[in-house]
Structure 1
Amino acid sequence: MRLRNKPWAKELIAAHPAYILVRPETIKGHWQTRFETEQPLRIEIGSGKGQFIVEMAKALPQFNFIAVEVQEAAIAMILKKQVAAQLPNLQLLYANGADLGDYFAPDEVAQIYLNFSDPWPKTRHEKRRLTYQSFLRQYQTILQPQGKLAFKTDNLGLFEYSLVSLSQFGLILDFVSLDLHHDPRVTFNIETEYETKFATKGQPIYQLKAHFK
Structure 2
Amino acid sequence: MRVRNKPWADEYIKEHADYIVTEPEKYIGKWQDRFAKSQPLNVEIGSGKGQFIIETARRNPDINFIGIELQKTVIAIALKKYMETPLPNLQFLLTDGANVDELFQPNEIEKLYLNFSDPWPKKRHAKRRLTSPNFLKTYQVVLQNEGQIEFKTDNRGLFEYSLVSFNNYPLEFDYVSLDLHQSEENEDNVETEYEQKFSAKGPIYKLVAHFKKV
| TM-score class, shorter | over 0.9
TM-score between the two structures when normalised by the length of structure 2: 0.97
1:205 aligns with 2:197: no
| AA aligned opposite 2:174 | D
Aligned to 2:126: 126
| AA aligned opposite 1:171 | L
Where structure 1 has 5 or more consecutive residues not aligned to the other structure, the ranges are none
Shift of 1:185: 4.5
Q: CA separation of 1:68/1:185 partners in 2, compared to 1, >3 Å: closer, same or farther?
A: closer
| AA aligned opposite 2:103 | Y
| AA aligned opposite 1:104 | F
Where structure 2 has 5 or more consecutive residues not aligned to the other structure, the ranges are none
Please give the alpha-carbon distance, in whole angstroms, between the structure 1 residues aligned to 2:203 and 2:74: 25
Aligned to 1:92: 92
Aligned to 2:36: 36
Q: CA separation of 1:13/1:185 partners in 2, compared to 1, >3 Å: closer, same or farther?
A: closer
| AA aligned opposite 2:6 | K
1:24 aligns with 2:21: no
Please give the alpha-carbon distance, in whole angstroms, between the structure 1 residues aligned to 2:93 and 2:84: 18
Please give the alpha-carbon distance, in whole angstroms, between the structure 1 residues aligned to 2:70 and 2:41: 20
Please give the alpha-carbon distance, in whole angstroms, between the structure 1 residues aligned to 2:146 and 2:4: 39
Shift of 1:28: 0.5
TM-score between the two structures when normalised by the length of structure 1: 0.97
Partner SS state of residue 48, structure 1: coil
Partner SS state of residue 4, structure 1: coil
- Counterparts of 1:109-188 in structure 2, within 5 Å, are 109-188=109-188
Aligned to 2:54: 54
Shift of 1:78: 1.1
Shift of 1:37: 1.4
Aligned to 1:106: 106
Partner SS state of residue 188, structure 2: coil
Q: Which runs of 4+ in 1 moved over 3 A?
A: none
Please give the alpha-carbon distance, in whole angstroms, between the structure 1 residues aligned to 2:64 and 2:80: 19
Shift of 1:202: 4.3
Please give the alpha-carbon distance, in whole angstroms, between the structure 1 residues aligned to 2:130 and 2:116: 10
Please give the alpha-carbon distance, in whole angstroms, between the structure 2 residues aligned to 1:186 and 1:45: 21
Q: CA separation of 1:82/1:186 partners in 2, compared to 1, >3 Å: closer, same or farther?
A: closer
1:6 aligns with 2:19: no
| AA aligned opposite 2:203 | P
The count of aligned residue pairs is: 212
Shift of 1:184: 2.6
Post-superposition Cα deviations, 1:143-194, rounded to whole Å, max 9, x if no partner, equal: 0101100000000000000000011111001100000011135441100011
Please give the alpha-carbon distance, in whole angstroms, between the structure 1 residues aligned to 2:127 and 2:73: 25
Partner SS state of residue 85, structure 1: coil
| AA aligned opposite 2:206 | Q
